[in-house]
Structure 1
Amino acid sequence: MSTAATASDAKSGTAKAVLPWKLNPYPSTYKPLPRQDTLIVNATILDGAGHRYDQASVLLRDGKVVEIGAGAIAAPAGAKTIDAAGRWVTPGIIDVHSHDGDFSAPFTSLDAQNSDVSESSDPVTGNVWAEHSINVQDPSFERALAGGVTTLQILPGSSNLIGGRSVVLKNVPATTVQAMKFPDAPYGLKMACGENPKYTFGGKGKFPSSRMGNVAGVRAAWLEAAEYRRKWLDYESGKQDKLPDDDLKMDSLAGVLDGDIRVHWHCYRADDMATLFDTAREAGFRITAFHHAVEAYKIPELFVKNHTCAVVWSDWWGYKMEALDGIRENAAFVDAAGACVAMHSDSPWLGQRLTLEAGKAMAAGNRAGLHVSDEHAIQWVTLNSAKVLGLDAKIGSLQAGKNADLVVWSADPLSVYEKADQVFIDGALVYDRADATRRPRSDFELGQPSMSAPTKAGGDGK
C-alpha cells in the first residue's frame, strides 16, 4: 500500500496522488532567536563575494544585511553599534560536510556502538535520513559555533554506495533537530566510492567487494530508480491506473532525478571520479560535489565541464591507500582552473577551524605562485559552500537582502591567531567570546575546567 498523500484536483474534484519524494514529513520549526538591529563599524570586511573593505561598516536589520561598504553608515534608531576597529568581519562560516550530531561526542572506546552515522546493513540505504540520528546536545555544535560556523550540512557516513539523505542545520541551540533545520534547504544524497563500501561489505563476504562492484551496484540502483520514477509519473499523468507502491529507498533517488536532491559523493582518486562523472551522466543526474577529492587537481577540467564542486581538506592525506596522492596545492590548483572549491571538516575538531583550512590552502597556492588573496580564499568556506548547498541566494556573502549570518573576528580569520569574537545568525547574537551568557554549552561539558568562565575577553579555550 502506498504512503503517498493525495491532494484535490481543482478541475475534476477527484483525489490525485502527490509524488512521494515531493513530500516533507519532517518540516523545519526553526524560529530566529531574539535579535536587535546592529551596526558594525571600523572593521576590515571580507564580504564573501570577492571584495575587501577597509575601515568599513555593515548594517544588520530585521535579520538581514541592509548595507555594507567603506565609510560611515547611519545607525537606525534603537540599533546597537559595535566598534570593530582592528578586527575583521566575514559571512558566517559554512561546513558542507559535518557529522556533528550523528557521530556525537563524547567519543569513547565504544565509538562504533555510540555512532549513528551509517546504516551499514545494506549497500543502498537511500531510505535513511541523517536527521533521524542527530543528537542536538552534541557539544561539537557549540564548539563549531565558537569557530564561526553558522550553517552545517550533516551527512550520513561513507560505508554505503548510497548512504541516505543529508540535512542542513542552522547552528543554534535547540531541543529538537526540526528547530535547527534550515527552512527550505534542499536535501542532499550521500554516496561513496572506493575503499569504504568495498571493505564494509566485501569484508563480510557480501556485494560489493571491488571497485567494479561499486560501480555495478550504483548503476543497478539508478536503473531501478528510473523505473520507479517512470511508474509514478505515468500514474500522475493518467497513463497508468494502478497507484504504485511507495519505496522509501527509491524516493530519495527519484528526488535526485527530479533535480530536487543534490548528490554529494565521497571519493578520493581521479580515476574513480572520472568514472563516476560518466555514471551520473548515464543515469541522468548531476553530481553537486565530490567530497574529499584528494586527487581533484589531476582532473580539474572535468569539474569545470560537469559543473561540480571539489569539497576538500587543505592537507589531509596518506591515512589510507586512496589518499596517498594528496597535495597541499589541491584546492588552489582546482580553483585556478576555474572550478568551484570549498573546504570541509568531516571532523568535529577540524569543524572548529575551517577558516584555518582555507588559510592553509591559500598559503600553499601562494607558495606555488598563484597569488590567492584573503578576499578570494574566504569564499572557500562561505559563498562557494553556500552554492554547494543551493543556498547562495540566502547565505554565504554579506550582500543586501541576504540573511544576517556574520562573524566578527579578533584578527585576520585566515590566521592561526584569530578567534571568533561574536557570531550572528539571522541577525541574532548567538555567541560572544566576552560574555559567558552568550556561549552556549552542552550538558556534557558542565564542570569541565576548560569551560570555566573567562576572567577577560579571549579566554574561552576554543
Structure 2
Amino acid sequence: MSYFPENDPSLTTTSLLNTSSILITNANLLTMEGVTIEQGWIHIVDGKIVGLGDTTEWETYKSQLSNISNTRIIDAQNRLVSPGLIDPHTHIGIDEEGIGWEGADYNETSEAVTPHLRALDGINPYDEGFVDAARTGVTTVQVLPGSANVIGGLMCCLKVLPGSTVEQMVVLHPSGLKMALGENPKKYHGVASGRAPLTRMGIAGIIREQLVQAQHYVAQQQSIEVEQSRPSPPRNLRMEALGLALEKKIPVRFHAHRADDIATALRLGHEFDLDITIEHTTDGIKIAKELASSGRYCSVGPTLSSRSKVELRNLSWETYPALYQAGVPISITTDHPVLPIQYLPTSAKMAIQAGLPLDAAWEALTIQAARHLHLADSTGSLKVGKDADIVIWNTHPLTDSGEVALTMAGGQITFAQSEPQL
C-alpha cells in the first residue's frame, strides 16, 4: 500500500524555507544504483540523503528515527524521480548571455599560456543561465575557461543555486586544468596575432615545454622541503597550477574535436603520466578503440549545433552510440552557452534516437558525468550519504516530452512548479 504522509499524524508539513528535513513520497525512483524503486520515498536532512526505499521499508525506517516532526512533505504523485542532471563542460556564468563583450570573461587572449587563471574569478552567479539550468533539472555544472588558449587555466564545479554567491555554489575547486588542441588556439593566436602557436606542432610543443618547466619547479620545491635549510624561491602561480596536474591532484581536460587532436591528447597524457579527459570528442567515432583502451572519460557535444568550423565537419549523433558500444565512458555536454543548457535533455533524446540505449543516456546525464568530474562520491545517483540532488519530472523527459516539476540541489529547492502541480 502506498504511504500517504497526510494520513500520518506524526509528520507535520512545515514551510519550505524553515526546514532542514524533507520527505519525498510516492516516487518512482530512478536511483542510478542498478535499481528502480516503485512507490518509493527519500528522506533528506541538511542537504543529504539519509534514507530511501520502498513502502515495505518505510515503517522500519520510521521506527528508527527519534523524531521526524517539522518535516516538509513532498508528494511526488507516482512521478519519475531521478538524480539531478550534470553538465560536465560549460561556460555558464563566465560567458554570460544577453550582455555581449562585457559578459565575456572566459578567454584571456592576451597570451596563449595562462595556467594560473581561475574560472572562479570570472563567474557571475546571477547569470540567467543558472536559472535556466535549474528549470531543466541540472544541479551540478563544471565551469571552464574557454578554448582560445593552449593552456587556459583552472576550472571549478558548482551546485546550481541561482541567487547564491559563488562561494556558496562551489563544490570542487580546482576541478581540472584546461588545455586546448587544434583550431581555436591557432585561430586566436597564430592567425589573429601572428604569435605562437601557428600550427598543431606549435600547440603540442608549448604544452611539453610548459610541463617540463613545471617538472623542474615541482622537483625544486620538493628538494627544498626535504633540506629545509634552503630559502624558498618566490611562488610561481603558473608552475603551481601545472604542478597540480603533474602530481595528479587535478585532471587535465583537453579540448579536442578532431581524431588527430584526440590522439595528441592521449599521447601527452601518456608521456607525462597525466590524469586526462577528452572534451567534445567530435571525431571520437574514428578513434573509439583507442579511447576505450585508454580508459579516459569523454564528454561529447554540443551536437545540437551547426558545423560552424572545420573541426565540426563530422558532427554526428552516431558518435554517442558508437563510443558507448566501444566501451568508452561518455557524458553529454551543451558547452553552454554554445548550446543553451536547457537543451541538455534534448541532446540525450537525440542520442537515443541515434541508437544510444536509454539506460546509457541516463548514465551519461548523471553518474558518468559525476565520475568525469570526480564527484561520484557525492552526486550522480540517489544513494544514502550523497547530496540531495534530485529532480521530479511531470512525465519521462527522455521517452516523452517530460518537463521538470521540481529541482533540488544540495537539499535546496531551486525550481518548482506551482504547489497544486506537485
* TM score, norm. by length of structure 1: 0.80
SS of match in other structure, 1:84: strand
> Measured at CA, do residues 301 and 68 of structure 1 come closer, stay the same or move farther in structure 2, by a change above 3 Å?
farther
- In structure 1, which of residues 73, 76, 84 is the aligned counterpart of residue 76 of structure 2? 84
Is this contact kept in 1: 2:24–2:76, CA < 8 A? yes
1:358-401 CA-to-partner distances (Å, cap 9, x unmatched) read: 222122115xxxxx13x432111111111111110011100111
Equivalents in 2 of 1:180, 1:229: separation in Å?
A: 31
Question: Which shifted more, 272-281 or 357-366?
Answer: 357-366
Is this contact kept in 1: 2:49–2:388, CA < 8 A? yes
1:259-281 CA-to-partner distances (Å, cap 9, x unmatched) read: 11221111101111112211121
Is this contact kept in 2: 1:36–1:428, CA < 8 A? no
Match of residue 354 from structure 2: 364
AA aligned to 1:77 is: S
Is this contact kept in 1: 2:135–2:404, CA < 8 A? yes
Equivalents in 1 of 2:39, 2:262: separation in Å?
A: 44
Query: Can you give the 5+ residue segments of structure 2 that lack an aligned partner in the other structure?
Result: 1-16, 63-67
Equivalents in 2 of 1:269, 1:52: separation in Å?
A: 38
Match of residue 291 from structure 2: 303
SS of match in other structure, 2:168: coil
- In structure 2, which of residues 230, 243, 247 is the aligned counterpart of residue 254 of structure 1? 243
Equivalents in 1 of 2:213, 2:316: separation in Å?
A: 38
- After superposition, residues 2-401 of structure 1 pair within 5 angstroms as 35-72=19-56, 73-74=58-59, 76-107=68-99, 111-174=100-163, 176-182=165-171, 184-203=172-191, 204-238=193-227, 241-287=230-276, 289-313=277-301, 314-316=303-305, 318-348=307-337, 350-365=340-355, 372-373=357-358, 375-401=359-385
Equivalents in 2 of 1:131, 1:286: separation in Å?
A: 21
- 1:225: Cα distance to partner? 1.1
- 1:415: Cα distance to partner? 4.2
Equivalents in 1 of 2:233, 2:383: separation in Å?
A: 46
Equivalents in 2 of 1:415, 1:46: separation in Å?
A: 14
Question: Which shifted more, 244-253 or 314-323?
Answer: 314-323
Equivalents in 1 of 2:106, 2:421: separation in Å?
A: 36
> Measured at CA, do residues 219 and 377 of structure 1 come closer, stay the same or move farther in structure 2, by a change above 3 Å?
same
Is this contact kept in 2: 1:268–1:323, CA < 8 A? yes
Is this contact kept in 2: 1:59–1:66, CA < 8 A? yes
Is this contact kept in 1: 2:19–2:70, CA < 8 A? no
SS of match in other structure, 1:260: coil
* TM score, norm. by length of structure 2: 0.88
Question: Which shifted more, 113-122 or 149-158?
Answer: 113-122
SS of match in other structure, 1:165: strand
Is this contact kept in 2: 1:231–1:240, CA < 8 A? no
Is this contact kept in 2: 1:130–1:155, CA < 8 A? yes
AA aligned to 1:47 is: T
SS of match in other structure, 1:365: coil
> Measured at CA, do residues 119 and 34 of structure 1 come closer, stay the same or move farther in structure 2, by a change above 3 Å?
farther
1:242-299 CA-to-partner distances (Å, cap 9, x unmatched) read: 3122111111110011111221111101111112211121122121x21111011222
Match of residue 11 from structure 2: none
Query: Can you give the 5+ residue segments of structure 1 that lack an aligned partner in the other structure?
Result: 1-32, 367-371, 436-455
AA aligned to 1:305 is: S
AA aligned to 2:289 is: E
